Amino acid sequence: MTRQKLILSIVQNDTVKEQARILLLSIATSSDEQRKIITAASYVVSKIASADFPEQWPTLLPSLLALVPQANDTQLHGVLVVLGDLVDEGFDEEQFSGSAVDLLKCVYDVATNGHKKLMTRSLAVSIFRSCLDTMEAVMATNPQAVQQFMQSASDIWVPFFVETLRAPLPSMPESSDLPASPGIGGWRGVIALKTQAVKALDKIHTTFPYILTARGMELFSAVWDALQAHLSPYHILYTGEEQKEGQLEDSDRLPYTLDLLVMEELDYTQTLLNTSTIKHEMDVQLASASEANGNSTPTASWLSQILALMVGYAYISAEDASMWEFDINTFLAEEATETAQYSARNACAGVVTKLCSFNWPVMESLLPFATTTFEDQASDPKAKEAILYVVKQAMEEIDSYDRTIAPELLNAYLGFARTAIADMENDMLRGRGYMTAGYLVTAPGKALAESMPDFARQAIQLIQSDEPEIVQVSASKALNQYLKDVPKPLAQDFQTQTVAAISAFLSSRDLEDFSDGEELLATLVELLRDAIMIDPSFSLDHPAIDVLFTLANYGAKSWHTTDIVNEAFESIVTTMSSKGPEAYAQLCKKVLPSLTGALDVGDMTQESSLSDMAVELMSILAHHGSEPLPQGFVATIVPKLYRLLFLDLEFNLHQSATVTLKHILAHDASQLFEWTDQETGKGGLEIILLVIDRLLGPSVQDSSAAEVGGLAMELVEKAGAERLGPYLMQLLQVVAIRLSTAERTDFIQNLVLVFARLALTNAKEVLDFLSQVQVPGQEGGTGLEVVMRKWLDNSINFSGYDAIRQNVMALTNIFKLHDERLANVQTRGDLLIDNTSRIKTRSQAKKQPDQYSVIPVPLKLAKVLVQELVTQPASAGLGIGLRKNSIAQTHGSDDDEWEDEPAILDLASQGTRNDLMGFMDGMNDWNLHQTDDDTQQYLVQFFNEVGNEQYFQELYQALTDAEKEKLQRMNDGRRQSVASG
C-alpha cells in the first residue's frame, strides 16, 4: 500500500512525470514483482494514459506491443491489463487506424497460443472485443474502410472462435469451489475462454451484422451443439441438491463459471435468430416437418428440439429454490423480470419470446414434449414446472400480438396446469400451475372463458387460506389475470371477495414486516387495483379504500408501489367525480381524514415518503375535483400544504404540494380567496403569494420549485390584475429574477410559460415590463435580456403539446412586434463545428467544450420558430397526422423484408441489459419535444403571413441553408396541398 501511495504522489509531480511513466510501466510489466504491486501500477498507468496518450506519451502503445512476444506469464498479464484499459479509454481515429492491425495481431497471437494460460488467452479475447467499440466509433467517419478491415479480421478470428466453441469441456472438478487447475488448462480457463469467444461473436454480430451472414449456419450449429453438451453438467452444478456457486468472475472481471457461459450462449442464440439465414432455415425446417406430417402442426421439427432444450435450461436452480422459500419477494421479482440477477432461466425466456415473435408454431411444437413429460410419473417436477414456465412466457408474448390459439391446444396445456395444481408434494409446481392457468384461461379469443369464474374463486380461497406463501402469491398473480375478464354480472361480487381476501391475507401477518417486502406489497396493490378497476364506483361500499391506504402506508418508500396506489386511487376519483358533485363530496369525506392524518404521522415520524404519497394522492383528488369544490375542502388541505412547503423536505413533496394548490385555484378560486387561515390569520391569496415567494427564493432548489410557474400562472389568471394590484408586478419580477439562475429545463419551461401565457394576449406589455426589471447576479442586465435569452435557448427542449403550442404562439406574437429593443439583445446562436474528422477522446472533450456564435434575438426568434416547423417531403403534404406518424414509424409491417438488423432490442439479453443500464444514466437528458398538427398549421400560417415582409426577408438571409430549405419544403408542400385540393 505504501508503494502504491508513493507511485501516486510521483504522478502528481509534473517535473518527474516522464520518469514516472517509465518507472510505472516497468513495474506494471515486471516479471519479479508481486501481483498486487503489478496490478496497482497497471491501474495508475492506465489512468495516466487516459489523459496523456497519445499526445504526451506516443511510445506507450509500441512499447506494450513489443513486450508481448517475449513476456512471461506475469509480464504478459500486466501488459494485457494496460492494453485493455488503454483500449477502453478510447483512441482517436488517427491513432487507432495506425495501430489497429498491429494491436489485433498481437492479441490474436496471445489468444491462439496454446502454451499460454487460458485465463490470459481469455483476457486477450476480451481486448479484441473492446476494440470493436472503438471501431464502431471510427466507422462513423470511414465506414467502408472499417467494414473491409473487420471482414479481414473476422476471417482470421471467427474460425478460432468456432473451434473454441466446439472444444469439449474438461472433467468437472470435484471440489465445491471449483478451483483453477495448475498449468495452462483447467475447468475455469476453458469456461472463461469459451465465454469470451461467444461474447466476441455476439459483439461482431451486433456491431457489424452483415459480416457474419455467410457463417450464420456454422455459428448456429456450433452454439447449438455447445448448449446440448453443456446441459447435463449445468444440471449437475446448479439444479441438483449439491449446487455450486455460480456467476463468478476473476480479478480481471473475466467470467469463469458454466452458468455465465450458458447465458452468453443463449443470448447469442437470440442474436442468431434475428438473422435472415437462420430465419430462412427455420422456415424451411418447419415447412418440411409440416409437409411430412400432412398438416400444419409440426410434431418433430428443429423448433421442437429448441424448445425442449429451453425447457432443460429453464429448470429452477437449487439456489433460487432455496431463496424463494426463504424470501417470497425474490420469487416475485423473478416473475416480474425485475431482478438484477440475470440467469439462464431468464435467457431461456428471451429465446422463447423471440421464437413467438416470428409467429412460429411454438405452442404446437412444444406439445409433444410436454405431453410425454406430464404423462411420465417418474418425470422430475422441475421439468414440469419448467414446461409451464415456458408456456407462460410464450402466452405473454402471443398475447402482446393479440394472436389466438386453438382451443384444443389451450385445453391440453390447461390439463397440464391442473395436474401441477393437484401435486400437493411440490409447492413450486403448484404455484406455477396457478400462474400458467391464469394466462391460458384469459388467452386471446376467450376459448376457455367459461373456466375463469371457477379458477378465480379457487384463487380467492387460496389467498386467504393457510397454504404455503409461494402458492398464495402465485394464486394472486393468477387472479390478476382473471379480474381483467370478469363477466359484468359477477363484477361486484368478485370485487368484494377479492378485497376481503387481501384484507384477510394482511390480517394474518405482521404488517411491520411489509416495509422490507417491496415485491409482495406491489403484488397485493396490483391485485387490489385490478379489483377496484372492475368498477370503481363500488369502492365506497366496502373497505377497498381503507385496504388501499393500509398498503400505501407500508409501501410509501417504494416508487413502484406508490405508482400503483396512485393509479388505483385515480380510477376511484375520476369515476366518482364523473358522477357529480355529491358523489365527489362523499369521496372527499371518506378519504381526506386519512390523507391529512398521514401528513401528521409523517411529521411526527419524519417519514417524508409517507407525506409524499399523501400529498400526491391529494393532488390527484384536487386535479379531478368538482367545480366548485366541496365546502371545507380548502380549509382542510391548504393549511397542511402551506406548512409543508416551508419545511426543508424532498423535492417531490414540494412539487406535489404546489400542483395541488394550482388545482384548487383552477377548480374553486373563490373558496380559496374567501378563506382565512384561523391559525395565522392570513387569507388564501396572501398564502399563495407567500408560497410562490418562498419557492422562487434563492434557497430553494430548482427541483423543489419546478411547478411554481404553473401556480403563478393560475394565480394571475384567476385573481386578475385588479385583485392582485401591486403584487402582480412584484410577482413577475421575482419570476424573472429566479429565471436568471434556473438550470433545469423543466423548471425553466415552467417559469417561461408565465410570460408566454401573458404574451398570448398582450406581448407588448410583457416586453415593456421586462425592460424595466433589473436582474442582479451573473446574468446581469434587464429582465428583457435575461428572460429572452433563457427563453430562446431552452424553447426547443420544452415538452407537452399544450405547452409547446402556447410557447410557439407567444413567440410569434413577440416576433410580430418588430420591437427594436430585441435587436439590441445578443444571445447564443448556432453551434460552431470543428472542421476536423478526428474523434475526440473523453479527456479531449472535457477540455474543449462546445462553442456557439452570437446573434441578435430577432434572428434567434426566427431560427427557433423554423426549428419548431416539422416538414415532410412535398409529396406527403404538411403537418397531417403528426402524432400518428410519430408512433407508426416505430413499428414495421409484418410483411417487411427481413434483414440482419443490429438495432433489434432483446430485453432478455445480458448485453442489452448492461447497455440499457448505462443508457438510463442519460435519461434526464432525453428530449421529449413533440409538436402536433394544430401547432404546425399555425406555424405554416404564420410564415405565410410574414414571409414577404421586409423585416423577415432580412432575417431570412442570415438563416442557415438547412433552415432555408425547411421553409422551402413548407412552401412546396403548401402548393401541392392547394393544387390537390
And the C-alpha cell for 619?
Answer: 393532488
Angle of the 559-578 helix axis to the 518-532 helix axis, nearest 10 = 10
Q: Which residues contact 757 (CB under 8 A, 6 or more apart)?
A: 713, 716, 717, 806, 810
The answer to whether the beta carbons of residues 204 and 211 sit under 8 Å apart is yes
The answer to whether the beta carbons of residues 469 and 328 sit under 8 Å apart is yes
Q: Is the pTM of this model over 0.75?
A: yes
The answer to whether the beta carbons of residues 970 and 869 sit under 8 Å apart is yes
Q: Residue 958 burial (CB < 10 Å; 0-12/13-18/19+)?
A: middle
Give the chain's end-to-end CA distance (angstroms, integer). Answer: 81
- DSSP category for residue 852: E
The answer to whether the beta carbons of residues 330 and 517 sit under 8 Å apart is no
Alpha-carbon gap, residue 73 to 123, rounded angstroms: 12
Q: Element (H or E) spanning 64, and its range?
A: helix 60-67
Q: Where are the alpha helices (DSSP H) in 697-782?
A: 708-724, 727-741, 745-772
3-state secondary structure of 244: coil
The b/e string for 396-414 (b: 16+ C-beta within 10 A; e otherwise) is ebbbeeeeebeeebbebbb
And the C-alpha cell for 935?
Answer: 401547432
Q: Residue 226 burial (CB < 10 Å; 0-12/13-18/19+)?
A: buried
Task: Tell me which amino acid residue 492 is.
Answer: Q
Give pLDDT, residue 143.
Answer: 84
Task: Tell me which amino acid residue 689 is.
Answer: L
Alpha-carbon gap, residue 53 to 82, rounded angstroms: 12
Alpha-carbon gap, residue 78 to 62, rounded angstroms: 15
Measured CA distances, 675 to 621, 656, 668 (Å): 20, 22, 11
Alpha-carbon gap, residue 307 to 297, rounded angstroms: 15
Alpha-carbon gap, residue 71 to 747, rounded angstroms: 58
Residue 351: which of 383, 400, 311, 302 has the closest Cα? 311
Give pLDDT, residue 918.
Answer: 41
Alpha-carbon gap, residue 448 to 182, rounded angstroms: 60
- The angle formed by the CA atoms of residues 344, 518 and 653, to the nearest 5 degrees, is 130
Q: Which residues contact 502 (CB under 8 A, 6 or more apart)?
A: 463, 524, 527, 528, 531, 547
Q: Which residues pair with 623 in a beta bridge?
A: none
Q: Which residues contact 810 (CB under 8 A, 6 or more apart)?
A: 755, 756, 757, 759, 760, 763
- The angle formed by the CA atoms of residues 73, 76 and 77, to the nearest 5 degrees, is 85
Task: Tell me which amino acid residue 371 is.
Answer: T
Residue 755: which of 741, 771, 744 has the closest Cα? 771
And the C-alpha cell for 550?
Answer: 393500509
Measured CA distances, 299 to 288, 393, 398 (Å): 11, 21, 20
And the C-alpha cell for 639?
Answer: 393549511
Give pLDDT, residue 422.
Answer: 94
The answer to whether the beta carbons of residues 223 and 265 sit under 8 Å apart is yes
Q: Which residues contact 554 (CB under 8 A, 6 or more apart)?
A: 511, 514, 515, 521
Low-confidence ranges of the chain (pLDDT < 50): 1, 176-183, 296-299, 837-839, 841-847, 872-927
Residue 345: which of 392, 287, 381, 297 has the closest Cα? 392
- DSSP category for residue 490: G
Residue 531: which of 521, 520, 518, 542 has the closest Cα? 542
Alpha-carbon gap, residue 820 to 264, rounded angstroms: 65
The answer to whether the beta carbons of residues 227 and 194 sit under 8 Å apart is no
Measured CA distances, 383 to 178, 316, 372, 431, 467 (Å): 26, 9, 11, 14, 23
Give pLDDT, residue 967.
Answer: 92
- DSSP category for residue 237: I
- DSSP category for residue 721: H
- How many CA atoms lie less than 13 Å away from 183 in the CB half-sphere? 7
Alpha-carbon gap, residue 373 to 530, rounded angstroms: 35
Give pLDDT, residue 764.
Answer: 95
Alpha-carbon gap, residue 568 to 538, rounded angstroms: 13
Alpha-carbon gap, residue 330 to 811, rounded angstroms: 53
The answer to whether the beta carbons of residues 638 and 600 sit under 8 Å apart is no
Give pLDDT, residue 10.
Answer: 52
- DSSP category for residue 280: H
Alpha-carbon gap, residue 261 to 263, rounded angstroms: 5
3-state SS string over 860-890?
HHHHHHHHHCCCCCHHHCCCCCHHHHHHHCC
Alpha-carbon gap, residue 662 to 173, rounded angstroms: 68
Give pLDDT, residue 94.
Answer: 67
The answer to whether the beta carbons of residues 126 and 161 sit under 8 Å apart is no
The answer to whether the beta carbons of residues 200 and 125 sit under 8 Å apart is yes
- The pLDDT tens digits of the residues spanning 583-631 come to 999 999 999 999 998 887 655 555 667 888 899 999 999 999 999 999 9
Task: Tell me which amino acid residue 69 is.
Answer: P
